Amino acid sequence: MANVRSLILSTDETYHVFNRSVERRPVFTSKREYQHMKDLIRFYRFAHLPMRYSQYSSLSFDVQKSIMDRLKQKGDMEVSLYAFSLMPNHFHFTLKQMKDNGVTTFLSNISNSFAKYFNIRHKRTGSLWQHPFKAVHIETDEQLLHVIRYTHINPVVGLIIKKDELDTYSWTSLPEYLSNPLDDICDTQFIKSQFHTIDSFRSFTHDQIGYARQFAKIYHLAIDVDTDE
């Protein structure tokens, strides 16, 4: 595991990236805040945007849809997302960098935009996220599958939800894989192609939650270590 100061983030390579709030304080304290971050993810994955999200969000639904349709058609991306998970005080993304500095640009945009939104709502000032974010290079398809599974079941491993709530939990990308392709945030095709059916992908995800708790004990040794400044 390496942080972004020592790991070179290369275009066309895949990474698991994650960050935590300062003081480990809850930053997603309501459905509205979770949804706001999800909307930022949907918007800022694209490159060469015509405006900031604050301007985009003030437009009518029809105008927003027209802009989003054009962005999708153009396909000019900072990152291509495989999976995400939003937790009360941190986030996980499994993604591919599509442009030079794409991961850093994407994370900077969503983190800064959400921090401004959160600070206004909660009448606070100052940084909201630890710096720098941390990243792990995904070197094999097998590693990618395990990390995506870990990303998706993180709310269960972290005791945020029960196992039977996972398939419809809105703040990970798992529902997009299983039942809600209209979310259209992640590139699900490659991962789905590794399984015969959606049910086999679901089983792969669910059947290893016990294993993932053991995996997390090891993996969080990397996630939770504070990098020396």
Whole-number pLDDT of residue 212 = 61
Give, for 94, the enclosing helix (H) or strand (E).
Answer: strand 90-97
Residues contacting 50, CB < 8 A, separation 6+:
67
Q: How far apart are CA 149 and CA 12, in angstroms?
A: 21
Cα torsion 197, 199, 203, 205: sign: positive
pLDDT over 90 for what percent of the chain?
76
Tens digit of each residue's pLDDT (9 = 90 or more) over 169-197: 999 999 999 986 667 899 999 999 999 99
Q: Which of 16-25, 77-86, 196-205 has the highest mean pLDDT?
A: 77-86
Residues contacting 76, CB < 8 A, separation 6+:
46, 47, 48
* DSSP state letter for 3: E
Give, for 85, the enclosing helix (H) or strand (E).
Answer: strand 79-87
Q: Which amino acid is at 128?
A: L
Q: Which amino acid is at 154?
A: N
Tens digit of each residue's pLDDT (9 = 90 or more) over 104-162: 999 999 999 999 999 999 999 999 998 889 999 999 999 999 899 989 998 998 889 99
- How far lies 106's CA from each of 110, 155, 188, 205, in Å? 6, 23, 19, 27
Q: Identify whether the C-beta of residue 138 lies closer than 8 Å to the C-beta of residue 152.
A: no
User: Structural domain boundaries of the chain?
Assistant: 2-223
pLDDT tier, 8 (very low <50, low <70, confident <90, very high otherwise):
confident
Whole-number pLDDT of residue 218 = 54
Structure tokens at 195: 């399984």
Whole-number pLDDT of residue 226 = 41
The torsion region of residue 93 among left (phi > 0), alpha (psi -120 to 50) and beta comes to: beta
Whole-number pLDDT of residue 215 = 60
CATH of domain 2-223: 3.30.70.1290
Question: What is the DSSP pairing of strand 2-3 with strand 14-20?
Answer: unpaired
Burial class (CB in 10 A: 0-12, 13-18, 19+), 126: exposed
